[in-house]
């Protein structure tokens, strides 16, 4: 049973990050940049989005070390700012599309939980993890550190003179993020779990008893 829950969680994580990247590509296309479609990245074919580290290695490491959450990312969709109608503003909306998609997915899975799931079935735990995974992806990507989406959103709000300073962090982004991930989620994972429980209606999960 635990293997089935773990396997299902990995499948949900994988397709959630794929949809996250597809949303970036669709928003870029809407604002004038067809690069993602031309490169074959606006697709649900998972092979087009696999990042060896973010899609495979990092989730496996988290599982092996018993991490209380699973996080990952897909290969970023290519975007050419020169094709955008208003590069600074449009990049902000393109960045926001990814986390927004994960928020919508968490709501959809929570609705499925309320409408379709019977208490005592394995589906209730799988859907709960699905809600939580998408909330984790949304909140994590809103952290304003390059190359996460939150930095692109912040860049659209900041004056240009500060954007240069923010961009200088990008080569060191993942070095900063790895320890930050564990610190942030030690502090905020209870909050995210609380939101998940509220979204599913506060139902006590059988498999957590």
- Catalogue the active-site residues: 21
Could you tell me the two tokens for 4?
A: 């089935």
Half-sphere exposure of 168 (CA within 13 A, CB side): 6
Instruction: Name the one residue in this structure whose structure tokens are 């990814």.
Output: 98
Sequence-separated (6 or more) residues with CB below 8 Å from residue 133? 9, 12, 13, 16, 70
- Element containing residue 138 per DSSP (H, E): helix 122-141
Treating both helix axes as pointing N-terminal to C-terminal, what angle do 87-116 and 2-30 enclose, rounded to 10 degrees? 140
Query: What's the CA dihedral at 84, 88, 90, 94 to 10 degrees?
Result: 110
Distance CA 127, CA 112 (A): 8
SS3 68: coil
Residue recorded with tokens 């809103």: 142
């Amino acid at each position: 049973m635990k293997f089935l829950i773990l396997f299902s969680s990995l499948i949900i994580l994988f397709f959630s990050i794929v949809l996250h990247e597809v949303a970036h590509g669709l928003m870029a296309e809407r604002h004038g940049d067809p690069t993602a479609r031309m490169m074959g990245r606006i697709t649900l074919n998972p092979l087009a989005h696999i990042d060896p580290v973010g899609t495979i290695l990092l989730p496996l490491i988290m599982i092996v070390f018993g991490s209380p959450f699973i996080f990952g990312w897909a290969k970023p969709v290519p975007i050419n700012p020169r094709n955008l109608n208003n590069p600074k503003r449009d990049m902000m909306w393109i960045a926001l599309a990814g986390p927004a998609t994960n928020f919508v997915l968490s709501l959809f899975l929570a609705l499925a939980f309320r409408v379709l799931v019977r208490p005592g079935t394995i589906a209730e735990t799988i859907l709960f993890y699905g809600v939580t995974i998408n909330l984790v992806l949304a909140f994590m990507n809103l952290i304003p550190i390059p190359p996460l989406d939150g930095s692109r959103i912040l860049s659209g709000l900041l004056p240009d003179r500060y954007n240069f300073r923010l961009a200088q962090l990008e080569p060191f982004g993942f070095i900063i993020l790895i320890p930050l991930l564990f610190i942030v989620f030690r502090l905020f994972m209870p909050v995210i779990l609380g939101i998940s429980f509220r979204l599913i209606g506060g139902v006590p999960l059988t498999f957590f008893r």
